[in-house]
Structure formats: structure tokens, C-alpha cells
Amino acid sequence: MNFTGKAGLLSAGLLLFAFPGLSSGGPFGGADSVKVTAPGAVPKQISSQFKFTEGPAVNKKGDIYFTDQPNDKIWKYDTGGNLTLYRDKTGRSNGLYFDRKGNLIACADEKDELWSISPKGKVTVLLADFEGKRLNGPNDLWIDAKGGIYFTDPYYQRDYWERKKPDLEGQKVYYLPKGKKQPVVVDGDLMQPNGIVGTPDGKSLYVADIRASKTYKYQINDDGTLTNRQLFVSQGSDGMTIDNQGNVYLSGRGVTVYNPAGEKLQVIPVPSRWVGNLCFGGKDRRTLFITASESVYTLAMQVKGVE
């Protein structure tokens, strides 16, 4: 997400998203009626010491790692409730995801690369360009069972870049097969792709086109390509996750939960100006971890995460 300009971010969010249920009730109005949340649960603020939080990812233990991109840091929130700095100088990492070997894969958009950070902290650059040209800025990612990486590549101008325009035409979704040096374009017909997540069975992929205020669902083919693009909902998203019932969680002004048929279950209001991303964590995966601008929150759930 574009974290530069707080007022501009909020204004953009108001234009991009429509959340009819958000205005009802108090600051947490309606959260108690969400079928997926634990009875009486409301978002609990863990910390508000950040500039713009993003990219939460869960490891096998249930610990959450997330980025504070403007400050170029990755933080860890463990299953015991401890918040610690995991890594400084992260290549301006944004979206994160753990592979099956425990490597933390990062969208490092300082130089618009994909990084793999080993459990011991060693950085390997997995991808540095596309056909010799600099990527726009890898933003969010999802890894399939084969180890292939799907990632979105929108263009958000960063104040730490020397360039003032993209090197590539268009803002696309790519797939980097495991072991390959170059990705393939799996959808080049989007305005500004952002949030992305796949289903546990590896059959479907969801991609949010945040500028178009739409989220699409695709069929994943055996070779990693995508077909049968269908409009899932007329709402964009900054980040996404899925629970064990197949419900899809979209972020922006709060969190909006849709069932697999694209029917809105409820909006979960979050007392921060913008929700960048979210994922499930904890030992039992029943805690929803929410990165929301300057803050991070947890929310007790009845459902479980699958990432």
C-alpha cells in the first residue's frame, strides 16, 4: 500500500471502498454480530509505535512477523504475546510469507526485489528484475504448495526512489515458479493489483484490484497460470486472508468478511484510519492479527486460519 501522506491515504481509502455497515453502532459497532469472531470479542491494540504496518505472515509455530515499511523494520509477535524487533534494514519489505522450509519471503521494494530470509537471517535475492527491467514494486504475495510465488506489482511512488515513473508498462500479477530466475505474467489486465491470497487446496487465487474497487477469483492451472477470472466482489483490498470455512477477509477501512459465494457476512471496524493487511496466528490459529497504520491489533476468532 502507498504509505506516504496520511491524509491522502485516508481520502483514497474513502473513495476506493464502500463499507455500509461501518457507520452503525459505536467504534466497534457490529463486531459482536460477526459470525466468525469469538463472542464479545473486539480488536485489542497491541502497540501503536509504528509508522505504517503491513505484510503479516505466520510461521509454523503461530508467531506473526510484520513490517513497518517506512521505518524499514520487520517485527515479531510471538504466541506468548511478546513483541520484539526481528530485523532492521529489510530492503523496505512490504508483504511477507513463509515458505515450507521456514524462509521468510519478502516483497522488498527498495530495489523492487523478492527476498528470501533464512531462519538464520541470511538474505538471498530471488528476483531482481523482469526481462531486464525494474519491477514496479512487489507488494503482496502468496506461495503455492509447489513453492511457486504469486505476487502483485502495483506502482506506488516511494520517497526513497530516484526514479519518478515505472520502467514497465502496466501493473500486473506475476508467478515465479520455484527455482526459476524469471516470473511469468498471469494477469496483465488490472489497474492496480494489491492484496492476494490462494486457497489451501491450490485450486483458486484471489486478487484485489484496489484502484478498480474489485476483487477477482481465478482458477489455478497445473502449470501455475490462471484462467476463468471471475468478479468475486465489487470491493478492492490492501491485503487478504482466508479462514478454514473459506471465508475471505478484505482490508481497508476496517475488515470486511465475505463467504465463499461472495456474500458479505459483516464489517469488523478497527479503530485506526486504515487496515493494511491481516492474517491468522497463535498456536491454534484462532487469533486474527491486524496491521492498521500506526498500530497492530489482535482479535479472538471462532474460525481458524489456513495460511
- Fold classification of 6-300 (topology level): Neuraminidase (2.120.10)
Which of 180-188's residues contact partners 24+ apart within 8 Å by CB, and which partners? Answer: 181/127, 182/127, 182/130, 182/131, 183/127, 183/130, 183/149, 183/151, 184/224, 184/225, 186/150, 186/218, 186/224, 186/225, 186/226, 187/216, 187/218, 187/226, 187/229
- What sign for the dihedral angle of Cα 293, 296, 299, 305? positive
According to the model, what pLDDT value does residue 23 have?
Answer: 34
Which pLDDT score, from 0 to 100, does residue 1 have? 56
- The phi and psi torsions of 295 (rounded to 5 degrees) equal -125, 165
Q: How would you write the pLDDT of the chain (307 residues) with one tens digit per residue?
A: 555 433 334 334 433 333 333 333 333 334 444 489 999 999 999 999 999 999 999 999 999 999 999 999 999 999 999 999 999 999 999 999 999 999 999 999 999 999 999 999 999 999 999 999 999 999 999 999 999 999 999 999 998 888 999 999 999 999 999 999 999 999 999 999 999 999 999 999 999 999 999 999 999 999 999 999 999 999 999 999 999 999 999 999 999 999 999 999 989 999 999 999 999 999 999 999 999 999 999 999 999 999 8
pLDDT for 266: 87
Q: Quick one: pLDDT at residue 246?
A: 96
Q: What is the per-residue pLDDT for 159?
A: 86
CA pair distance 130, 119, nearest whole angstrom: 27
Enumerate the domain spans of the chain: 6-300
